[in-house]
Amino acid sequence: MQTTGIHHITAFARDPQANVDFYAGVLGLRLVKRTINFDAPEVYHLYFGDQAGNPGTIITFFPWPDSRKGRVGGGQVGITTYVVPAGALPFWEERLQRLGISVMKAERFGEAYLQFSDNEGLRLEIVARSEGAESEWSFGGIPADKAIKGFGGAVLFSTKSAQTMSVLEDVMGLRKVGSDQGYTRFQATGDLGNLIDVPESDMEWGAGGAGTVHHIAWRADDYEQHESWRYEVQLAGYQPTPIIDRQYFNAIYFREAGGILFEIATDPPGFAHDEPADSLGEKLMLPAWYEKARAEIEANLLPIEVRELDKGSSS
C-alpha cells in the first residue's frame, strides 16, 4: 500500500488567539474547525486548512496557555513545509517581512525555500510548485492565486534516520527519489503533502511542548484501507493503537523507530461532517458526549476570533 501523503500535522501552542492570528491572519489559512481536545476539554483543538480542510492541507493545534515551551529536535517533524503556486514566493517573502517575520532563504533539491518560525518557534517553510490544486480560500489580502495550497511536505528530524527512512519506504509506501546536501527525499503518490525530506544524520532528541510538532498523520483513502494499514503496521513490528474515531477522520497511531509519532487517518468523513461547509470553524463544535457540558466548556476557553492583520499591499 502507498499513502498519498500527509493528511494533517498536529502541533502545540500556548496562546489560542496568537495561534489564530498566525495561521489565519498571517498565512491566510481557513479556520475549518474549532473544537476541543477530546481528551482534555479545557484545551481548544483548532484546525486550519484550505477552503474545505482537505487532507494534505490541515495543520491542527492544541493551544494551552500553561504549556511549557518545547525544543525542536529529533523524534519530531522538524520543519513543516507549505506549498504555494509557482511564482508566488516573492509575494510571500514581502508579506512575511512586512508582518515582521524574519525569513531565511534555503535551497534543497534545486528548490528555493523561505524559512521562518511561527509565534511559538514552530519551524515552517514555503516552497513554490505548480503541482497541487490552488486553494479557493482567500483571506487577509492574499489573492487565491498566491494562497497556500496546502503542505508541500515535511522535514522529519529522526533520532535513527536509517530506520525512519525504512518505515517511510517499507510501511508507508513512499518512494526514495534522491539525495541532496545530507537530505534524502521520499515521494508519496499525491500532489500535496507528498515530498518528505529526512536529514541523513541522526539528530539529538527534542523536547515536546509549545512550538513543536506532536505528530504527523498520513492519508488512508477509506475505512477499509485504514484497517489494512493497521494490519500492515503490526506486520512491520509496530504496535498501533486501536482505531480511534476522531469525529472528522478515523485514526491509528504508532511511534516509528526514529522517535516520530505517526498517525494514519482516513480521508472521510471530513470537516463538513458536523456543520455546514460554508460556515466551517465559526462555532465551537463538540462531540455528542460533551454537549451537555457545553456552557461549562465554553466558559473555560479563552475567546478567539479570526481577524485580518493586513489588508495587503499594492505590490
Q: Which is closer to Zn ion, CB of 154 or CB of 217?
A: 217
Q: Which is closer to Zn ion, CB of 194 or CB of 266?
A: 266
Is residue 263 near Zn ion by the rule CB under 5 A? yes
Q: Which is closer to Zn ion, CB of 185 or CB of 215?
A: 215
Which of 50-58, 149-157, 227-235, 260-268 is the region at the interface with Zn ion (rule: CB under 5 A)? Answer: 260-268
Side-chain-side CA neighbours of 15 within 13 Å: the count stands at 9
How big is the chain, counted in residues?
315
Task: Kindly calculate the radius of gyration of the chain based on its CA atoms and give it in whole angstroms.
Answer: 18
- Give the shortest CB-90-to-Zn ion separation in angstroms: 33
Q: Which is closer to Zn ion, CB of 127 or CB of 217?
A: 217
- Give the shortest CB-167-to-Zn ion separation in angstroms: 17
- Give the shortest CB-43-to-Zn ion separation in angstroms: 14
Q: Which of residues 184-243 bind Zn ion (CB under 5 A)?
A: 217
Q: How far is CA 175 from CA 78, 232, 237, in A?
A: 20, 17, 21
Which of 2-10, 32-40, 77-85, 188-196 is the region at the interface with Zn ion (rule: CB under 5 A)? Answer: 2-10
Site mask, Zn ion, residues 274-293, x = CB under 5 A?
--------------------
- Give the shortest CB-280-to-Zn ion separation in angstroms: 18
- Give the shortest CB-217-to-Zn ion separation in angstroms: 4
- Give the shortest CB-191-to-Zn ion separation in angstroms: 21
Q: Which of residues 137-156 bind Zn ion (CB under 5 A)?
A: none
- Give the shortest CB-271-to-Zn ion separation in angstroms: 14
Cell of 299: 466558559
Residues with Cβ within 8 Å of residue 79, at least 6 apart in sequence: 115, 123, 124, 125, 154, 155
Beta strands 195-199 and 123-128 are: unpaired
3-state helix, strand, coil in the chain (%, to 5): 20, 35, 45
Is residue 58 near Zn ion by the rule CB under 5 A? no
Is residue 266 near Zn ion by the rule CB under 5 A? no
DSSP labels, 18-63 = HHHIIIIIIT--EEEEEEEETTEEEEEEEEEESTT--TTSEEEEEE
Binding-site member from 3, 4, 10, 161 for Zn ion (CB under 5 A):
10
Is residue 80 near Zn ion by the rule CB under 5 A? no
Q: Which of 54, 38, 34, 55 is nearest to 46 (CA)?
A: 34
Q: Which of 7, 59, 55 is nearest to 28 (CA)?
A: 59
Is residue 35 near Zn ion by the rule CB under 5 A? no
Q: Which is closer to Zn ion, CB of 10 or CB of 54?
A: 10
Q: Which is closer to Zn ion, CB of 85 or CB of 153?
A: 153
Handedness of CA 203, 209, 211, 216 (dihedral sign): positive
- Give the shortest CB-206-to-Zn ion separation in angstroms: 18
Name the one residue in this structure whose C-alpha cell is 470553524: 281
Residues that bind Zn ion (CB under 5 A): 10, 217, 263
